[in-house]
């Protein structure tokens, strides 16, 4: 009986310390940029870099730390396309939809990636949380149109074949790493 | 790395220039690998690594420091900025011979080192070859560059953006010294005003006049803001300047600060440009260490600090009042003007907002004078303009031409004509705010006023060339979905109007449109234009209005004949395999990204229309002409 209670207490305190460790990290970010309204966007960018999205409780924490109404923070977080309130996948596949990419038929690339990832209409992250497909407006590699950015690396003059190959290589690299 | 430390007078700056020049002139061969976003993506880092290895293997002494005059006859290997001809990257340039190598692979490194670096010979197979088989060894001989005039891009592609001394050697920061030690702020503003420089971000407002307004406002605190939120899809000149010659931007901002009496500046740059941000940060650190930025610049009483603010992905932040809100940490929504930023800008203080290319022109104007600047371009649009030439042309990349150069010269002389061998149809200029130019505009001079009269605009300078295979209704739909998504939602007509316009366009490209829809579209276009506060909404209908003006018959074909003349709109097309022609080679089935094609080898294949996404890969790969649209 005692053992069980002790185990429960330990688990609870562990959970608590995990949460406080989490906020410690956010606190450090806030301190790095300064607790002023003008630092809100850089703070949210850093938080998103850390978590790959903006968890709701962290938005509230940031609001309190910056002495801003939570609605203001939420308003900023939902205004900019860069911020996501939903968790993103481990790998980000960004298909550029700038004008040059568009006239060089990037629609085929979008449907190829969607098909390959098995994404349904309106879905952008795979169920296993491994991939997120983003369609972005112009990454500035127009002369290489159509372009796809996989995990931060720009791939130019893409075809459905080449994009499939790049994704397969990513899978293979991950499998090799696991071994 | 801090290549230059604390300069306390213009003389010390001049000494750095002399020292750098003499070190580079002592028989130093420079091997410059393009470090622009395009070439980096195309494999420039691997080329760089291979060149380094090839030099090491042959014991060629490589200069680790750019300015190292102890070793004569050595080689300097480094990343340059973007020379503009992104289509043929990765590019490697050799100085002083100025050999221009294209599409370089790591396998070419050994030959470049052995022939060019060690013997001074040219590697013919790496040169640009035109359609007639003629090769061009030097940059300025290339048809792509021959008709260009480089002012803003002059040093990009020759200097290493990572080392401030390379910029100083090209008279960099000399304009600051001249302004701070020889000109009053009024004199600086007068020079810029006389030069006729107009805002390169698209607005075209005279820069000197804007500075004058801000200078005359009495305030203990003022700001200089650089708009580097290059959101127009299809434009990347600002990115290229920041990557290739970041110091030119910093110098222009310092001069603006001195002119208006500001001591602090912000660069608001898109987060989508990570390389530009890195280069800017390095440049700021080096300029601060050299005392060309910070307190008491070059020992003068003038101080100026620059901060970088990363955008978070909102096109509307290209509008100056929205951009200011975003720097303040708020939602980037525009507000009514007046008050103009000149009176009440960042944190309510007088603020000058200019675009990257505008600032990059300023040092050249101060150094060479207003008259020199006016010698380029036409009466009311002076100087040069950088355009991003993309789409269906043979040569794509960044180009710089005098204002007033004709559309035909840009598309056919510099761009080399249409890539696909099809006919030229149109050029979309100015992005989602701009319009289309057609064959009737071939002789139209590209300047602010001529373009405005033709229903288009310079915008930020994106030129997307389209051939006969591009459907203009689809182009209008594309831009409308962009502006609809990017509308900040403040003005009802922009928020709701763009949504309805998009729905109408989707209906038309989807084959469901009627003649009434076209009328309604025109009516809405006028309402959205008149009922919006900022440039985004005011110009959002432009692509629709201009395509309706020049390509009305295409709209009619979609709604009356139920046809897409360009054969692009999916609703009107489908792919089918012609049984008699199909050899059963299975190539199309293997290439189909969705597995919609099936059959037995050596037997005719079939396409499952349900699964087919109409991407056209089968049509492109079939060697027997057995797939029909």
The whole-angstrom separation of Cα B341 and Cα B322 is: 11
Q: Say if CB B619 and CB B627 are below 8 A apart.
A: yes
Domains of chain A: 2-79 (1.10.10), 91-178 (3.40.30.10)
Do the chains contact at B310 and A141, CB–CB below 8 Å? Answer: no
Predicted confidence at residue B219, as pLDDT, reads: 97
Residue B542 burial (CB < 10 Å; 0-12/13-18/19+)?
A: buried
Q: What is the pLDDT of residues B515-539, one digit of tens each?
A: 999 999 999 999 999 999 999 999 9
Does the CB of B475 have a partner CB in chain A at under 8 Å? Answer: yes
With a CB cutoff of 8 Å and minimum separation 6, the contacts of B565 are B471, B553, B554, B557
The predicted model gives A41-52 an average pLDDT of 93
Contacts of A144 in chain B (CB under 8 A): 38, 41-42, 86
Class of domain B574-628: alpha beta
How big is chain B by its Cα radius of gyration, in Å?
Answer: 27
Which of A12-26, A118-132, B109-123, B464-478 shows the lowest mean pLDDT across its residues? A12-26
Residue (of B139, B143, B171) closest to B32 by Cα position? B139
- In the stretch 557-576 of chain B, residues with CB closer than 8 A to chain A read none
Closest-CA distance of chain A to residue B576, Å: 18
Residue whose structure tokens are 């355009």: B387
Tell me the average pLDDT of chain A. Answer: 88
Which of A37, A42, A107, A138 to mutate to probe the B interface, most B CBs <10 Å?
Answer: A138
Does the CB of A110 have a partner CB in chain B at under 8 Å? Answer: no
Q: Is the pLDDT of residue A26 over 80?
A: yes
The whole-angstrom separation of Cα B501 and Cα B252 is: 41
Extract the tokens encoding B394. Answer: 């043979």
Q: Is the pLDDT of residue A179 over 70?
A: no
Q: How confident is the model at residue A13 (pLDDT cuts 50, 70, 90)?
A: low
Predicted confidence at residue A145, as pLDDT, reads: 87
Cα distance between the two ends of chain A: 42
Cα distance between the two ends of chain B: 59
Q: What is the pLDDT of residues B329-362, one digit of tens each?
A: 999 999 999 999 999 999 999 999 999 999 999 9
User: Could you write out the DSSP letters of every residue in B432-446?
Assistant: GG-EEEEGGGTT-B-
Which of B479, B593, B616 to mutate to probe the A interface, most A CBs <10 Å?
Answer: B593
CATH number of B22-140: 3.40.30.10
The whole-angstrom separation of Cα B401 and Cα B414 is: 10
Four-CA torsion B92, B95, B97, B102, nearest 10 degrees: 10
Do the chains contact at B234 and A98, CB–CB below 8 Å? Answer: yes
Q: At the topology level of CATH, where does B164-374 sit?
A: Rossmann fold (3.40.50)
Which of B390, B428, B485 to mutate to probe the A interface, most A CBs <10 Å?
Answer: B390
Residue A169 burial (CB < 10 Å; 0-12/13-18/19+)?
A: exposed
CB atoms within 10 A of CB B342: 23
Ranges of H-type helices in B196-327: 207-216, 237-244, 246-260, 274-289, 320-327
pLDDT along chain B (629 residues), means of 10: 84 95 84 91 94 94 80 82 88 93 96 94 94 91 93 92 96 97 97 97 92 97 97 89 97 98 97 92 97 97 97 93 97 94 97 97 97 96 95 91 96 90 90 91 95 87 90 94 94 96 96 95 96 94 95 96 88 84 90 88 87 84 86
Helix (H, G, I), strand (E, B) or coil at B222: coil
Q: Say if CB B151 and CB B364 are below 8 A apart.
A: yes
The whole-angstrom separation of Cα B592 and Cα B150 is: 45
Question: Strand B29-34 to strand B92-95: parallel, antiparallel, or no bridges (unpaired)?
Answer: antiparallel
Does the CB of B81 have a partner CB in chain A at under 8 Å? Answer: no
Does the CB of B141 have a partner CB in chain A at under 8 Å? Answer: no
Residue (of B556, B553, B547, B550) closest to B525 by Cα position? B547
Nearest Cβ partner of B390 from A38, A115, A143? A143
Which of A16-30, A87-101, B46-60, B199-213 shows the lowest mean pLDDT across its residues? A16-30
Nearest Cβ partner of A140 from B273, B311, B328? B273
Q: Strands, DSSP E only, in B39-166?
A: 75-80, 92-95, 99-101, 128-129, 135-136
Q: Strands, DSSP E only, in B81-177?
A: 92-95, 99-101, 128-129, 135-136
Q: Do B377-467 and B472-561 agree at the fold level?
A: no
Q: What is the pLDDT of residues B562-582, one digit of tens each?
A: 889 998 888 887 788 888 889
Q: Say if CB B80 and CB B22 are below 8 A apart.
A: no
Write the Ramachandran bin of B222: left for phi over 0, alpha for psi from -120 to 50, otherwise beta.
Answer: beta
List the single residue in A with minimal CA-CA distance to B475.
A103
Helix (H, G, I), strand (E, B) or coil at B275: helix
Does the CB of B488 have a partner CB in chain A at under 8 Å? Answer: yes
Closest-CA distance of chain B to residue A138, Å: 5
List the single residue in B with minimal CA-CA distance to A81.
B313
Nearest Cβ partner of B593 from A112, A152, A155? A112
The residue ranges of every structural domain in chain B are 22-140, 164-374, 377-467, 472-561, 574-628
Does the CB of B49 have a partner CB in chain A at under 8 Å? Answer: no
- In the stretch 333-352 of chain B, residues with CB closer than 8 A to chain A read 333
Does the CB of B372 have a partner CB in chain A at under 8 Å? Answer: no
Q: What is the pLDDT of residues B314-323, one digit of tens each?
A: 999 999 999 9
Residue (of B148, B166, B160) closest to B397 by Cα position? B148
Q: What is the pLDDT of residues A150-168, one digit of tens each?
A: 988 889 889 999 999 999 9
Do the chains contact at A82 and B42, CB–CB below 8 Å? Answer: no
Q: Is the pLDDT of residue A1 over 60?
A: no
List the single residue in B with minimal CA-CA distance to A43.
B329
Which of A40, A121, A137 to mutate to probe the B interface, most B CBs <10 Å?
Answer: A137
The whole-angstrom separation of Cα B324 and Cα B317 is: 8
Do the chains contact at B231 and A42, CB–CB below 8 Å? Answer: no
How big is chain A by its Cα radius of gyration, in Å?
Answer: 20
Closest-CA distance of chain A to residue B478, Å: 8
- In the stretch 31-90 of chain A, residues with CB closer than 8 A to chain B read 36-42, 44-45, 72, 75-76, 79-83
Q: How confident is the model at residue A34 (pLDDT cuts 50, 70, 90)?
A: very high
Q: Strands, DSSP E only, in B74-166?
A: 75-80, 92-95, 99-101, 128-129, 135-136
Extract the tokens encoding B503. Answer: 């729905």
3-state secondary structure A15-83: HHHHHHHHHHHHHHHHHHHCCCHHHHHHHHHHHHHHHCCCCHHHHHHHHHHHCCCHHHHHHHHHHCCCC
With a CB cutoff of 8 Å and minimum separation 6, the contacts of B25 are none
Residue (of B623, B619, B580, B569) closest to B596 by Cα position? B619
Residue (of B152, B431, B36) closest to A143 by Cα position? B36
Residue whose structure tokens are 């040569």: B395
The whole-angstrom separation of Cα A154 and Cα B209 is: 41
**ipTM of the complex in this document:** 0.86
Question: Strand B462-467 to strand B576-577: parallel, antiparallel, or no bridges (unpaired)?
Answer: unpaired
Extract the tokens encoding B396. Answer: 């794509």
Do the chains contact at A37 and B330, CB–CB below 8 Å? Answer: yes
Q: At the topology level of CATH, where does B377-467 sit?
A: Ubiquitin-like (UB roll) (3.10.20)
List the single residue in B with minimal CA-CA distance to A76.
B331
Predicted confidence at residue B66, as pLDDT, reads: 85
Closest-CA distance of chain A to residue B467, Å: 9
Q: What is the pLDDT of residues B372-423, one digit of tens each?
A: 999 999 999 999 999 999 888 999 889 999 999 999 999 999 999 998 778 9
Does the CB of A167 have a partner CB in chain B at under 8 Å? Answer: no
Does the CB of B299 have a partner CB in chain A at under 8 Å? Answer: no
Do the chains contact at A99 and B617, CB–CB below 8 Å? Answer: no
Does domain B472-561 fall into CATH 1.20.1440.230?
yes
**Total beta-carbon pairs less than 8 A apart between chain A and chain B:** 160
pTM: 0.90
What residues pair up with B30 in beta bridges, in sequence order? Answer: B76, B95
Instruction: Give me the half-sphere count of Cα atoms (radius 13 Å) on the Cβ side of residue B3.
Output: 26
Do the chains contact at B38 and A156, CB–CB below 8 Å? Answer: yes
The whole-angstrom separation of Cα B497 and Cα B494 is: 5
What residues pair up with B428 in beta bridges, in sequence order? Answer: B436, B464
Closest-CA distance of chain A to residue B328, Å: 5
List the single residue in A with minimal CA-CA distance to B346.
A38
Predicted confidence at residue B62, as pLDDT, reads: 87
Contacts of B478 in chain A (CB under 8 A): 99, 102
Predicted confidence at residue B121, as pLDDT, reads: 94
Residue (of B530, B493, B500) closest to B517 by Cα position? B500
CB atoms within 10 A of CB B503: 14
């Amino acid at each position: 009986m005692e053992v069980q209670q002790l185990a429960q207490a330990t688990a609870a305190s562990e959970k608590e310390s995990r949460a406080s460790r989490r906020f410690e990290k956010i606190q450090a970010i806030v301190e790095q940029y300064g607790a002023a309204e003008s630092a809100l966007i850089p703070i949210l960018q850093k938080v998103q870099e850390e978590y790959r999205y903006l968890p709701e409780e962290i938005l509230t924490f940031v609001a309190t730390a910056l002495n801003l109404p939570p609605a203001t923070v939420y308003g900023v977080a939902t205004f900019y396309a860069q911020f996501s309130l939903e968790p993103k996948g481990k790998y980000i596949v960004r298909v550029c939809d700038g004008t040059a990419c568009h006239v060089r038929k990037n629609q085929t690339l979008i449907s190829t990636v969607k098909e390959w990832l098995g994404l349904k209409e309106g879905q952008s992250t795979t169920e296993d949380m491994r991939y997120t497909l983003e369609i972005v407006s112009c990454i500035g590699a127009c002369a290489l149109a159509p372009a796809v950015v996989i995990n931060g690396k720009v791939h130019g003059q893409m075809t459905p074949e080449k994009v499939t190959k790049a994704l397969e290589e990513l899978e293979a690299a991950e499998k090799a790493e696991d071994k | 790395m801090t290549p230059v430390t604390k300069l306390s007078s213009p003389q010390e700056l001049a000494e750095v220039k002399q020292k750098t020049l003499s070190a580079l002139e002592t028989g130093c061969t420079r091997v410059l690998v393009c470090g622009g976003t395009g070439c980096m993506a195309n494999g420039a880092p691997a080329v760089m690594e291979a060149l380094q290895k090839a030099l090491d293997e042959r014991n060629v002494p490589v200069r680790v420091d750019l300015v190292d005059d102890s070793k004569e006859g050595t080689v300097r290997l480094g990343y340059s900025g973007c020379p503009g001809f992104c289509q043929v990257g990765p590019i490697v340039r050799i100085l002083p011979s100025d050999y221009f190598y294209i599409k370089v692979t790591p396998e070419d490194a050994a030959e470049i080192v052995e022939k060019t670096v060690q013997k001074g010979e040219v590697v013919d197979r790496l040169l640009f070859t035109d359609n007639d088989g003629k090769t061009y060894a030097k940059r300025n001989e290339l048809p792509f560059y021959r008709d260009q005039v480089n002012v803003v891009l002059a040093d990009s592609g020759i200097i290493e953006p990572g080392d401030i001394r390379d910029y100083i050697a090209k008279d960099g920061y000399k304009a600051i010294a001249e302004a701070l030690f020889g000109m009053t702020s009024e004199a600086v503003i007068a020079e810029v005003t006389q030069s006729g420089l107009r805002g390169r971000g698209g607005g075209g407002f005279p820069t000197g006049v804007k500075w004058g307004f801000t200078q005359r406002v009495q305030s203990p605190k003022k700001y200089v803001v650089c708009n580097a939120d290059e959101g127009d899809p299809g434009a990347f000149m600002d990115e290229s300047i920041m990557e290739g010659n970041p110091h030119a931007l910093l110098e222009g901002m310092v001069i603006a600060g001195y002119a208006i009496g500001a001591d602090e500046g912000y660069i608001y740059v898109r987060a989508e440009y990570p390389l530009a941000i890195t280069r800017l940060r390095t440049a700021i650190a080096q300029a601060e260490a050299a005392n060309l930025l910070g307190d008491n610049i070059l020992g003068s009483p003038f101080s100026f600090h620059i901060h970088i603010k990363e955008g978070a992905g909102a096109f509307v932040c290209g509008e100056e009042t929205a951009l200011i809100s975003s720097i303040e940490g708020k939602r980037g929504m525009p507000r009514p003007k007046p008050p103009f930023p000149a009176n009440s800008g960042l944190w309510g203080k007088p603020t000058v907002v200019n675009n990257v290319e505008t600032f990059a022109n300023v040092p050249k104007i101060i150094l060479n004078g207003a008259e020199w600047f006016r010698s380029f371009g036409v009466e009311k649009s002076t100087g040069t303009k950088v355009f991003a030439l993309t789409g269906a042309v043979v040569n794509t990349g960044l180009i710089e031409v005098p204002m007033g150069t004709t559309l035909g010269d840009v598309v056919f002389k510099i761009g080399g004509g249409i890539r696909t061998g099809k006919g030229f149809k149109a050029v979309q200029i100015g992005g989602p705010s701009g319009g289309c130019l057609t064959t009737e505009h071939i002789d139209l001079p590209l300047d602010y006023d001529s373009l405005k009269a033709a229903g288009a605009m310079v915008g930020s300078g994106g030129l997307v060339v389209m051939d006969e295979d591009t459907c203009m209704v689809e182009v209008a739909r594309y831009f409308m979905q962009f502006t609809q998504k990017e509308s900040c939602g403040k003005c009802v007509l922009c928020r709701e109007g763009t949504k309805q316009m998009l729905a109408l366009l989707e209906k038309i490209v989807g084959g469901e449109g009627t003649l009434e829809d076209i009328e309604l579209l025109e009516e809405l276009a006028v309402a959205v234009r008149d009922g919006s506060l900022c440039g985004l909404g005011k110009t959002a209908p432009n692509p629709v209005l201009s395509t309706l003006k020049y390509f009305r018959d295409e709209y009619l074909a979609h709604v009356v004949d139920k046809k897409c003349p360009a054969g692009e709109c999916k609703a009107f097309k489908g792919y089918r395999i012609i049984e008699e022609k199909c050899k059963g080679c299975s190539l199309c089935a293997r290439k189909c990204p969705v597995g919609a094609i099936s059959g037995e080898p050596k037997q005719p294949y079939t396409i499952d229309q349900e699964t087919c996404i109409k991407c056209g890969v089968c049509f492109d790969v079939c060697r027997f002409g057995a797939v029909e649209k």
